[in-house]
Structure 1
Amino acid sequence: MTTTADVLVIGGGGSGMSAAISAATSGATVILLEKCPKVGGSTAMSVGSFTAANTSYQYRAGVNDSIELFVADMKVANGQFEERENKELRRVLAENAGPTVEWLSSIGVQFLGPTPEPPYEKPRMHNVLPNSSAYASALLGECRKRGVDVRTSMRVDRLLRNAAGEIIGTRANGTDFFGRRGVILATGDYSASIEMKAEFVGNAAAKIPPVNPNSTGDGLKLGNDVGGIMVQMDRLYEGLRFAPSKRPDPIKILPSHPLLSTAMRLVVERLPKNLLAYVIRGALTSWVGPNNTMYQAGAILVGHSGERIANEDSDKLMARAAAADEKNTAYMIFDERVARKFSAWPNPVSTFPGVAYAYVDDYKRYRPDVYHRAQTIEELATSIGVTSSVLKSTVEEWNADVATGVDSRFGRQHLGDGVSEGPFYALGPMNAYITLADGGLAVDTQLRVTQANGEAIPGLWAAGSTGQGGLQLLNHGLHIGWAMVSGRLAGRNVAHAPKRLDLEATENVPVN
């Protein structure tokens, strides 16, 4: 089997497969190396929304959008982080997201949308059907159609350079692979690297497990070892999620096939909105933790001991506190007043914006394993498996703090109305997870990996989270958008790069 191609792609998630297809359709031969037994990466594990402007979905829905409005809304979503934004890459994303949705549609990916996504002015969120595995299925099928040599269970451990200092290939499983025109790093983020989380964020964050255990920052290390710089490495998405349901998920169990996706789109576009929301609530209560607004109304978070564990104003602090305990378990406790408030619009417990909203009774219906209701705090403690005297003392202390207006334990600012009106409720167990990390290699607008002086490293490109380059991506659907957009652009650019004549490796650069 050949180990040399025009383009070598490392990583088989959404960005890597998009890069491989783009390079192949630009006339290049392509080898893709994926360390896991199957492709898909974090893309196949995501909710799957793709935020984009100027799509045919928007046109059919009568939405008049523009690139300038899209950029303006991203500025609003960034808030205090706007000063950190890589504005050149944001423009690349805004201009190419719409065409990339159309491209995905052309290879069999179907979307529901566009749906609203506050604080955006225009509906831009396109939700993949039937689930995010549709990306992996369609992209892998297109890779095979375009002749991409996809090899799984191939862990890359070093980059190869020639005498001129150009990146010419990699070593994986003891074999050297070469890319005559270039190498693309598309291995995802570092959310599963305990060492990198500890180094860049801290030991408390390092203890939080990742959603994707394979996101170990391999591409970041590879790029950094040959002179690339890592930026925005302090940004992790830390939060609480409900423990996985033992019931089959009606959305995730659906097989991914273009014909099924097309049929689903035609059906759901014609379903009454209230019926569609009802269908999706089962999945919604499985995937998403409760909104922070419940804590602002008076709910508290307790650990398996029955004591409060963190300042509930902060997702990060709650996640770190839960993960600090070996059981990584927490429960939200609230009373009848909060339950009433979060039983109807405009106060959902959890939400897919513009698509479906889940309320307290939906958890009783769809997730009885995480729904607890009792007439007394002592009975509620028994239901969730904590010591009744401890939980009672915790609630009494909290109610006393609410009465004085000061959280004596953690300094929480939004106290709400306390936990005093029965019956009483708990949602949980919940576990702490890191959904993703926003750090990535610095890249230019051609997706070439750059050094500290701004010069591109010859022969090396990066896409997706590996090449995020300082983008903020602070609203739903932007990470998937950047994965596909950057992958397509990187693949095209490498395919058009000049061939290197010297493919003899003179320097092996190991991963740290």
Structure 2
Amino acid sequence: MWKRFGPVFPFTFSIITSTIPNASPLPSSGWRRCSHEPTHPVSGAGPVTSDLSRQYDADLIVVGAGGTGLMAAMTAAERGLKVLVLEKGASIGGTTAMSFGVFATSGTPLQAAEGIADSSDAHFEDLNNFAGTLIDRDNLALRRVFVDKAPHAFRKLLDLGAVFTKPISEPGHRVARLHKMLPHSKAVTELATRRCRKLGVRFRVEAEVSELIEADGRVSGVRLRNGTSLHARRAVLLASGDFSNAPLTFKKQFLPDDLAPIPGLNKLSTGDGQRFGLGLGGEVRNGDLVWGPEIRFVERPRPTLLSMLPSSPLLARVIKLAIDHLPLAVLRPFLMSFVTSSMRPAPQLFEKGAIFVNRKGERFANEQDRPEIHAERQPGGEVFVMFDKDLADKLGAWPNYVSTAPVIDYAYLHDYQRHRKDLVKSGPTIEAVAKAAGLSAEGLSRAVEKANAAGEKHISRGPFYILGPARACIFFAEGGLSVNGRMQVTRKDGTIIEGLYAAGSAGQGGLILNGHGHHVAWAYTSGMHAAECIAAGT
């Protein structure tokens, strides 16, 4: 069910929906000094003082304010710890808030309401179906922690007021285990943020950590890019995400040369936690695996309707009632308005006659031989899908779709024409459609002529269509720091780096998370578990 560098499911819905209109930018140089130095004061109580009168800024310092960091901060604060969360971006939520928000777990109240009998043991076994040929590289000890703790993390989100759809099925799971957050994933990170603030958790944004501080044989704090030192009485937790957008020199330590240049989904996923851990003798496990790459249509220029909905549990419950009780035909126009935001052109488009071209109108690769590897090297990193009337006439009903639409249905040409007019260009001639899309008419004419002459394609009848631009991206780099069952970062020899914990993608520790909803579930679950262990002093 998994190939070495990406999923092969017929639908993809755990990663992108673009419910967040824009991610905070980060310079491509990654770890150099930020153009916006941390200027926001830490609000809340003053420093924590130990019995030895040494001053601390918090009991626990969390690096990263995505789902992992938020769940860790909330859990630790509920256990009486003073928590400081450092986020290098301008906003809270991380990659979790950018996801489609699917949480895969077992034994939930929503499963019980549907009469679904499930258990963590069954989930553990079914994960073999997703690991596939990577089973020997899976961290089964962490898998056990994951499946046992995930139901508790899910119930914790329910207690916050998070609302989910009925359980959704996926091949590989013996029962329906996927739970979609409503109205969007950002709603849940906002609920967690509010809870954290009520508990006294302090947040500092645009606060990029440059290095860890060690004292007395343990990690004791962090140093920010502006030189500020912050000290933790108990621990530092790395919840800084994956390294899919790390500097090229870092990515090349783990990824093949053809994958390393492809950018990550989240511009802030620069592998800070992995870098810190490696600097103290830790190791990155499964660093050569990524989720993707895939070519996706670019995000819409304006926020989607769904992304602008308030993060209200009441509204979420109203949406849930509508989804549960209204016919799909009634809901489809509303739901399709956001799922066409950033979808993948279906591979079958190219089997049926479409071609990929670049801004010069050139056909740059065989569409059925990993075109995503070549897409990043095209002018501006942009590529386009081109086809004629013969194919366009077919793209209105299953099985001839443009993209798969998560949970809902399939997205057809008329869906894109209605909801993503910015992506669809047409013209009576090849020259006209090229001009409409901003492509070289001469180059496109040559590409079509060459493809037709070779007998590969038959693009001849106008009007002609161009969909795009689209870009290649990596959703997750799977390599995370090696951790033990208590989420403590370990060295290559298995010894513990005292005072340092990692969770989420930064602390994935060799765990294979193939299958939709497992990355989001691991983010929340591992953050919760790490905080529980830190609070317990283990």
TM exceeding 0.5: yes
- Give, as a single letter, the amino acid of the residue that structure 2 aligns with 1:475: G
Partner of 1:450: 490
Q: Is the 8 A contact 2:88 2:205 kept in 1?
A: yes
What is the letter of the counterpart of residue 237 of structure 2?
I
Distance in 2 (CA, whole Å) between partners of 1:83 and 1:338 is 43
Superposed CA RMSD in Å reads 2.3
Q: For the Cα contact (< 8 Å) 1:192–1:215, is it kept in 2? A: yes
Aligned twin of 1:171: 223
| Cα distance change of structure 1 residues 168 and 83 upon mapping to structure 2, 3 Å threshold | same
Give, in whole Å, the separation in 2 of the partners of 1:221 and 1:20: 22
Residues 282, 492 of structure 2: 8 Å contact kept: yes
Q: What is the aligned counterpart of 1:426 among 466, 485, 489?
A: 466
Give 1:494's aligned residue. Answer: 534
Query: Which of 166, 175, 179 matches 1:126?
Result: 179
Is the Cα–Cα contact under 8 Å of residues 285 and 362 in structure 1 kept in the other structure?
yes
**Aligned residue runs from structure 1 range 476-491, under 5 A:** 476-491=516-531
Distance 1:13 1:84, change over 3 A: same
Range with bigger deviation, 363-372 or 115-124: 115-124
Indicate if the aligned counterparts of 1:229 and 1:451 stay in contact, CA closer than 8 A. yes
Return closer, same or farther for 1:299/1:77 CA change in 2, 3 Å cut-off. Answer: farther
Please say if residues 93 and 485 of structure 1, whose CA atoms lie closer than 8 Å, have aligned partners that are also in contact.
yes
Cα distance in structure 2, aligned partners of 1:151 and 1:483:
20
Match of 2:251 in 1: 197
* Distance in 1, Cα, partners of 2:343 & 2:231: 42
Aligned partner letter, 1:472: I
1:254 aligns with 2:254: no
Match of 1:411 in 2: none
1:31-57 CA-to-partner distances (Å, cap 9, x unmatched) read 222222322111112222222222122
Normalised TM-score (structure 2):
0.83
Give the 3 Å change call, closer, same or farther, for CA 445–296 of structure 1 in structure 2: farther
> In the alignment, which of 74, 79, 82 is matched to residue 127 of structure 2?
74
**Structure 1 residues 266, 244: CA separation in 2 closer, same or farther (over 3 Å shift)?**
same
1:366 aligns with 2:419: yes
Q: CA deviation at 1:28?
A: 2.3
Moved more, 363-372 or 53-62: 53-62
Q: How far apart are 1:488 and its partner, in Å?
A: 0.3
Shift of 1:121: 3.8
Candidates 277, 292, 299, aligned match of 1:223:
277
The amino acid of 1:395's aligned partner reads: V
With 438-447 and 147-156 compared, the bigger mean Cα shift is at: 147-156
Task: Sort the Cα spacing of 1:256 and 1:399 in 2 relative to 1 into closer, same or farther, 3 A.
Answer: same
Alignment of 1:59-458 (within 5 A): 59-163=112-216, 165-172=217-224, 173-194=226-247, 195-202=249-256, 204-236=258-290, 237-314=292-369, 317-402=370-455, 418-420=458-460, 423-458=463-498
User: In percent, how many aligned pairs have the same letter?
Assistant: 38
Q: For 2:202 and 2:378, how far apart are their aligned partners in 1?
A: 44
Change in CA separation of 1:114 and 1:402 when aligned onto 2, cut-off 3 Å? farther
Secondary structure (helix, strand or coil) at the match of 1:113 reads coil
- Deviation of the 1:421 alpha carbon: 5.5
In structure 2, C-alpha distance between the alignment counterparts of 1:276 and 1:54, rounded to whole Å: 29
Distance 1:156 1:389, change over 3 A: closer
The amino acid across from 1:224 in the alignment is L
Distance 1:251 1:454 in 2: 46
Distance in 2 between residues matched to 1:426 and 1:320, nearest whole Å = 21
Contact 1:371 1:428 in 2 (8 A): yes
CA deviation digits over 1:306-346, x for unaligned, max 9?
111123235xx433422213411111123445435442234
The separation in 2 between residues aligned to 1:148 and 1:87, in whole angstroms, is 33
TM-aligned CA distance change 1:295 to 1:59, over 3 Å: farther
Residues 202 and 116 from structure 1, CA distance in 2 versus in 1: closer, same or farther, beyond 3 angstroms?
Answer: same
* 3-state SS in 2 of match to 1:77: helix
Q: Which amino acid aligns with 1:38?
A: S
Name the structure, 1 or 2, with higher relative contact order (CA <8 Å, separation 6+).
Answer: 1
CA drift of 1:423 comes to: 4.4
TM, length-normalised to structure 1: 0.87
**1:44–1:136 contact (8 Å) kept in structure 2:** yes
Comparing 341-350 with 18-27, greater Cα deviation is found at 341-350
Change (3 A) 1:470 1:401: farther
Task: Tell me if structure 2 keeps the 8 A contact 1:6–1:28.
Answer: yes
Q: Counterparts of 2:479 and 2:188 in 1: how far apart (Å)?
A: 23
Which residue identity does 2:246 align to in structure 1? S
* Deviation per residue, 1:482-501 (Å, 9 max, x gap): 10000000000011116xxx
Partner of 1:15: 68
Q: Give the aligned residue type for 2:529.
A: L
Cα drift, residue 223 of structure 1? 1.1
Contact 2:126/2:172 (8 A) holds in 1: yes
328-337 or 486-495: bigger deviation: 328-337
Provide, for residues 155-181 of structure 1, a one-character-per-residue CA deviation record: whole Å limited to 9, x for no partner.
Answer: 222212223x22222223433323222
Counterparts of 2:324 and 2:142 in 1: how far apart (Å)?
33
**1:68 Cα shift?**
3.7
Count matched residues: 482
Whole-angstrom CA distance in 2 between matches of 1:295 and 1:79: 27
Could you tell me which amino acid in structure 1 is paired with residue 274 of structure 2?
L
Contact 1:204 1:324 in 2 (8 A): no
18-27 vs 372-381, which moves further: 372-381
The match for 1:53 is 106
| One-letter amino acid of the counterpart of residue 168, structure 1 | S
Residues in 2 aligned to 1:352 and 1:59: alpha-carbon distance in whole angstroms: 27
Letter in 1 for 2:132: G
Tell me: CA distance 1:400–1:88, structure 2 relative to 1, closer, same or farther (3 Å): farther
Bigger shift: residues 110-119 or 435-444: 110-119
Residue 481 of structure 1 and its aligned partner are, at CA, apart by: 0.8
